[in-house]
Amino acid sequence: MQRKPFARAVAELRRLRKDPVLAIMVAAVLAALALFIIYPLVMVVFASLRPDGKWSLGVVREVLGNAYLGQAFRNSLMMGTLTAVIGSGLGFLFAFAVTRADVPFKRFLHAIAIIPIVSPPFIGALAIIMLFGNNGLITWNLLRIQNFPIYGFRGLMFAQAITFFPVAYMTLRGVLESINPTLEDAALDLGGSRFKVFMRVTLPLAAPGIASAMLVLFIETLADFGNPLILAGSRFPILSVQAYLEITGMYDLPKGATLSILLLIPSITAWIIQKYWVSRKRYVTITGKPTRSSSKIVSPAARAAIFAGCLFVAAVVILVYVAIIWGAFAKVWGNDNTPTLKHFQYVFSVGFKAVRDTLTIAGLSTPIAGLLGMIIAFLVVRKRFPGRRFMEFTSMLSFAVPGTVIGIGYILAFNRRPLALTGTLAILLLNFVFRYIPVGIESGRAILMQIDPSIEEAAVDLGADSKTTFFRITLPMIVPAYFSGLVFTFVRAMTAISAAIFLVSARWNLMTVQIMSQVESGRLGAAAAFSVILVAIIFAAIFLIRALLRARYGRYGGSMLNF
Amino acid sequence: MSVRLIDVTKIFEDPTRSEGKITAVDRVNLEVAEGEFVTFLGPSGCGKTTTLRIVSGFEAPTEGDIIIAGRRVNDDPPNKRDTSMVFQSYAIFPHMSVVQNISFGLELKGRPKAVVREETARIMDVMGLSSMAKRRPDQLSGGQQQRVALARAIVNRPKVLLFDEPLSNLDAKLRDQMRLEIRRIQQTFGITSIYVTHDQIEAMTVSDRIVVMDKGRVMQVGTPFEVYSRPANRFVADFIGRVNFFDGRVVEGGDPLRVDLGGKTVEVGSRVPGVVEGGRAVVAVRPESLRLHPANEGGPSFATGKVTKAVYLGSVIEYELDAGFDRPVLAVSHDPVDAGFFTVGDIVALDFSARAAHALASEILKPLPATSGIA
């Protein structure tokens, strides 16, 4: 038994020797993953446990003994758990409304749940300040309350629920769509009441998907940096912000590193549970012929209630965006709402460099991350070689590592020769590429699983050599998926903040970081104008890519173009 | 063009097995004559698809040679071999129209545009595809996709046409239709064809000869009549159609053979080599060859039995009988209206003609010696 993995590795190595191009590719990818994902994490651990060049638990003990930092740890876990529950609840509500309840305006509700995904993740926090803050539209202008206590738990909870419920929606919509409604019909037919059928059939079938959505939300909330930086305040410390403040405020790298490890442990744990346990528990509904959705599981009263709930959430989301857009054009938010363009003038004069830098960095890192993702997906799905599981694990690890941790890792790892990259474009690009490869890997894997290998064989059989086969058969088939994957990668690169905030410099700055500093210095109008431009760029890019794809590949049907 | 397989063997490395390898194809010898239609038939995992992929060049044989039109092609990659494959999943290029799919091979060969257009149009006409030239694969039904796959393979006028279970994704009615269609097209163009299937009716319908395989080895090569009525061993008899086996001892080795089946002696018209006087033999009789009479009528019989099951299917009636053998005896009676039928509990006498009976060696499996595979 023990010899078998070894025998396999030997057989795989022997095969690899016959294919030197593949061998070089595998070696290069493995080396890059080790250098740009594993090495920075190791440096974080070293900074924490070997602060002065020798092993010591001193810093760890100091952090664990600090009541305030302990509070931050507990707060982070609590926010992660609560957002997981509330966000998944809202996501399920939307997904159920769209797939099962047959409510009106499904497309509108879908769009509402998608918009926050393609926006910077701290837009909710910014809007909350504008609506409920000291000069808030609702608290001050409407209700005349001064110093409404929005900072802390309440505001943050609200912002994170709005920010992350769409992530749960995306997962749960797929889960509910894959559950054949005839199963519910069958249960009704067997005499179950609607509520019983929902509790005994629909919910159990969706349970692994719900668990998965909750774990993903837990990870993302834990890693969230923008919302807590704006909203948490000093009386409600949050771990990711505290780690940042230790480093940028106190210049205490060992302490910041230790805090980021505290952040890393629960998110990696949740990710491993999600990846290796929950995702294996997915039910596959066995179906014969595809059936028309004919769900009758929702009573009229329940449908009305679900619809009302969705409309309420939709109204809140719309309010967020109205506040941002209005704020971008208002002279002095909360006091003088005369329309003006001065915030945009400010962005285009003082802040234009950040716009240009952001576009450069996102525009360069997106295609590279996408291509690297495709290559890794191709290697992992279609090839066998020693280290394949390591490659798969490491390349997907970025998803579980909070940006704060990897940001600290990069400043620790790449500040010395020969890799003295601090302050350069390169460090930002490398960080973005290796952070966002999981998106490319996922879309590459999905498309490669769909392509029947015999299609490529058919071309060879008809006389095509491997070059012709790749360019005339394989490439045209994967290009649409590649570009769809790029859309998400681009959105993530444009809205990144948690790792990037450690890596920006005077030479290379980002719009997201600019927005943060505008908020901190109280210039809400400028922050809103920046946000409007950022969202506008993202929308323009999405529509451009979709229009291009539709013109070129629309004839394949729309499935690849929707997201 | 003729195809020869000489001692073709394929061994896959398989680290999950204790031996570390698995022999998928075991010393297969076969000669397919020009214009002949030969089918590899066998259960899944018998090595038939691997053999086909070796002929097409997608797998390299571990040992042995592939000769196409007198030339050894072992070292030619699939794109350099004059073979065309019809894939189980059709493998139609999803981003090309029907006409683009069909003309792809000719284009790659660098034929002049006018020739490509003309040849493609002609084959689409023969296949009834002319009206859907501009359609995309996802706008075609399963049967139409199948025709495109066939047209795409034939238009290149390959030396050998290869079929990898091409009908397994179609529904029953369409399958019947396409079987005849494939045979018609193959006859029209006279292309040497090798076909792989696990469906015996498909094999019987299309083939000149059938190669029955099991566990990588050739069990029998013969015409549809031979593999059905004169099987070489118990595996072939059992795999193709249903059969009754009666154990006995050969009392007279002449022609016809006389076999003692537990007291009664029966005449058997044919036998495999190795069935000799004084030795044991298994008499194989197809259910439709078994004659049943009411037991009280007298007349010739080798056994009597009680009807334990009678299933009326319209054109036939199927019986299961308990006749004191270790297995129930199966019998099929045609035209039940005219012949009348028995019901459960009736006692019947069993009988068969010498011509309908075939004697096999009593070992369960006895593959043919390798050389006899060559026609």
C-alpha–C-alpha distance, residues B225 and A53, integer Å: 86
The shortest CB-CB distance from A462 to any of B13, B94, B104 is to B104
Q: Give me the sheet containing B329-334, strands edge to edge.
A: B291-294, B347-351, B303-312, B316-322, B329-334
Q: Which helix (H) or strand (E) holds B92?
A: none
B339 shares its domain with B200: no
Does residue A262 sit in the same domain as residue A377? no
Please tell me if residue A462 touches chain B, with a CB cutoff of 8 Å: yes
Domains in chain B, number: 2
In a domain, B143, yes or no: yes
**Residue A385 corresponds to which tokens in the numbers above?**
């070689």
CATH number at residue B172: 3.40.50.300
**CA-closest candidate to residue A105, choices A387, A259, A371, A313:** A313
Q: B237 to chain A nearest CA, in Å? A: 34
For residues A213 and A171, the answer to whether their CB atoms sit within 8 Å is yes
Q: Which pLDDT score, from 0 to 100, does residue B28 have?
A: 94
Residues B163 and B298 in one domain: no
Q: What pLDDT sits at residue B334?
A: 84
Residues A165 and A179 in one domain: yes
Q: Report the alpha-carbon distance of residue B267 to residue B281 in Å, rounded.
A: 13
Indicate whether B178 belongs to any domain: yes
**Cβ-nearest to A462 among B13, B108, B138:** B108
Q: What is the pLDDT of residue A557?
A: 41
Angle between helices A403-413 and A39-49 (to 10 degrees): 80
Contacts of residue A477 in chain B, CB cutoff 8 Å? 94-95
Distances, alpha carbon B254 to alpha carbons B267, B269, B277, in Å: 10, 10, 8
> Which residues, other chains included, contact A461 with Cβ-Cβ below 8 Å and sequence gap of 6+?
B56, B58, B78, B79, B83, B84, B85
Q: Domain range spanning residue B334?
A: 291-351
Main-chain phi, psi angles of B158, to 5 degrees:
-70, 160
Instruction: Give the per-residue pLDDT at B202.
Output: 92
Average pLDDT over residues B322-330: 90
The distance from CA A479 to its chain's CA centroid, rounded to whole angstroms, is 23
Touching check for B60 and chain A: CB below 8 Å?
no
Lowest mean per-residue pLDDT among A135-139, A222-226, A241-245, A400-404: A135-139
Number of domains in chain A: 2
Q: What are phi and psi of B363, to 5 degrees?
A: -65, 145
The per-residue pLDDT for A487 is 85
Closest Cβ opposite residue B95 in set A7, A458, A477: A477
Best probe of the A interface among B93, B103, B145, B157, by most A CBs < 10 A, is B93
A191 pLDDT higher than 80: no
Do A172 and A308 reside in the same domain of the chain?
A: yes
B79 touches chain A (CB under 8 A): yes
Could you tell me if B201 and B298 lie in one domain?
Answer: no
Maximum CA pair distance of chain A?
A: 78
Co-location of A493 and A562 in the same domain: yes
C-alpha span between A543 and A536 (Å, rounded): 11
Are the beta carbons of A462 and B83 separated by less than 8 Å?
no
Asked if residues B247 and B237 have their Cβ atoms less than 8 Å apart, the reply is: no
Of A26-35, A140-149, B203-212, the least confident: A140-149
| Residue B58, C-beta contacts closer than 8 angstroms, at least 6 positions apart | A457, A460, A461, B78
DSSP A119: S
Do residues B207 and B37 lie in contact, with contact meaning Cβ atoms separated by under 8 Å? yes
Q: A435 in a domain, yes or no?
A: yes
Question: Which three-class secondary structure state does DSSP give residue A218?
Answer: helix
Comparing B67 with A522, which gets the higher pLDDT? B67
Based on the fold, state whether residues B57 and B191 are members of the same structural domain.
Answer: yes
| Res. A23 pLDDT band, cuts 50 70 90 | confident
pLDDT higher for A335 or B63? B63
Length of chain B: 375
* CATH number, domain containing residue B298: 2.40.50.100
Across B45-97, the runs of DSSP E, i.e. the strands, are 63-68, 71-72, 83-86
Question: Which 502-561 residues of chain A touch chain B by CB within 8 A?
Answer: 553, 555-557
Any idea what the CATH number is for the domain that residue A543 is in? 1.10.3720.10
Residues A428 and A426: their CA atoms lie apart, in Å, by 5
Q: Is residue B243 part of a domain?
A: no
Q: Taking CB atoms and an 8 Å limit, are B93 and A465 in contact across chains?
A: no
Size of interface A-B (CB pairs under 8 A): 69
Q: Residue A460 and residue B77: Cβ atoms within 8 Å?
A: yes
- A448 shares its domain with A359: yes
**Minimum Cα–Cα distance from B79: chain A residue:** A463
Residue A334 forms part of a structural domain: no
Of A7, A457, A459, Cβ closest to residue B58: A457
Compute the nearest-CA separation of A528 from chain B (Å).
44
Q: Enumerate residues 307 to 366 of chain B having a beta carbon within 8 A of any beta carbon in chain A.
A: none
- Note whether residue B224 is domain-resident: yes
Amino acid at A169: Y
Does B367 map to a domain? no
Query: What average pLDDT does chain A have?
Result: 84
Instruction: Assess if residue A327 is contained within a domain.
Output: no
Q: A19 and A164: one domain?
A: no
Q: Residue B368: what pLDDT?
A: 46
Q: Does B13 touch chain A (CB under 8 A)?
A: yes
Task: Indicate whether B368 belongs to any domain.
Answer: no
Residue of B79, B100, B103 to mutate, testing the A interface (most A Cβ within 10 Å of its Cβ)? B79
Contact A11 B136 (CB under 8 A): no
Percent of chain A with pLDDT over 70: 91
Q: Which residues contact A379 (CB under 8 A, 6 or more apart)?
A: A25, A26, A29, A385, A388, A391
Q: Is A475 on the interface with B (CB under 8 A)?
A: no
**Residues B299 and B211 grouped into a single domain:** no
* B250 CB within 8 Å of a chain A CB: no
Residues in chain B closer than 8 A to A476 (CB atoms)? 95
- pLDDT for A114-124, tens place per residue? 888 888 888 88
Contact B156/A463, CB-based, under 8 Å? yes
Residues B18 and B162 in one domain: yes
Does the pLDDT of residue A419 top 60, yes or no?
yes
Domain membership of residue A330 (yes or no) is: no
* Mean pLDDT of the region A206-223: 91
Q: What angle in degrees, to the nearest 10, is found between the helix axes of A67-96 and A106-114?
A: 160
Interchain CB contact of B77 with A (< 8 Å): yes
Q: Which amino acid is at B119?
A: E
**Predicted local distance difference test score (pLDDT) of residue B371:** 40
Kindly report the nearest CA distance between residue A94 and chain B, in angstroms.
32
Whether B311 and B216 share a structural domain: no
DSSP string, B217-278: EEEEEE-HHHHHHS-SSHHHHHHSS--EEEEEEEEE-SSSEEEEETTEEEEESEE-TT--TT
Query: Alpha-carbon torsion A134, A139, A140, A144, what sign?
Result: negative
- Residue A283's pLDDT is 57
pLDDT in tens, A240-297: 999 999 888 888 888 889 999 999 999 999 998 888 777 666 555 444 444 445 556 7
Q: Nearest CA to CA, how far is A295 from chain B (Å)?
A: 28
Residue A465: both structure tokens together: 């050599």
Q: What is the signed CA dihedral for A55, A61, A62, A64, rounded to 10 degrees? A: 140
Task: Indicate if the pLDDT at residue B331 is higher than 80.
Answer: yes
Query: Which residue of B91, B95, B109 is in closest CB contact with A463?
Result: B109
| Residue B283 within a domain | no
Same domain for A180 and A224? yes
Is A37 in the same domain as A144? no
What are the residues whose beta carbons fall under 8 Å from the beta carbon of A512, sequence distance 6 or more?
Answer: A120, A122, A226, A358, A494, A495, A496, A497, A500, A501, A534
A14: contact with B, CB 8 A cutoff: no
Residues A171 and A67 in one domain: yes
Predicted-complex ipTM score? 0.79
Using the Cβ of A452 and the Cβ atoms of chain B, whether some distance falls under 8 Å is answered with yes
Same domain, A48 and A70: no
Same domain, yes or no: A170 and A42? no
Contact criterion met (CB below 8 Å) for B370 and B8: no
* B365: pLDDT strictly greater than 60: no
Weakest mean pLDDT among A435-439, A473-477, B48-52: A473-477
Q: In the 8-state DSSP scheme, what is residue B368?
A: P
Q: Across the interface, which of B89, B108, B152 has its CB nearest the CB of A454?
A: B89
Residues A34 and A145 in one domain: no
Give the residue numbers spanning the domain of A126. Answer: 57-288+299-322
Q: Which of A327-341, B113-127, B210-224 has the lowest mean pLDDT?
A: A327-341
In Å, how far is B92's CA from the nearest CA of chain A?
6
Burial (0-12, 13-18, 19+ Cβ within 10 Å), B328: middle
A chain contacts of residue B79, beta-carbon cutoff 8 Å: 460-465
Q: Do B138 and A556 touch (CB under 8 A)?
A: yes
Q: Where is the domain boundary, B210, B229, B248?
A: B229
Contact assignment for B94 to A11 by CB distance below 8 Å: no
Distance CA B2, CA B31 (A): 7
Counting Cα atoms < 13 Å in the Cβ hemisphere of A346 gives 18
Report yes or no on B242 lying in a domain: no
pLDDT at A561 over 80: no
Are residue B213 and residue B319 in the same domain, yes or no? no
The residue behind tokens 């495999």 is B272
Which residue in A18, A461, A466, A471 has the most chain B C-beta atoms within 10 A of its own C-beta, making it the best mutation to test that interface? Answer: A461
Task: Record the tokens describing residue A305, joined without a space.
Answer: 């209630």
CA distances from A556 to A210, A440, A483, A549, B136 (A): 32, 21, 14, 10, 8
A71-85, B96-110, B261-275, B357-371: least confidently modelled range: B357-371
Question: Quick one: pLDDT band at residue A5, thresholds 50, 70, 90?
Answer: low
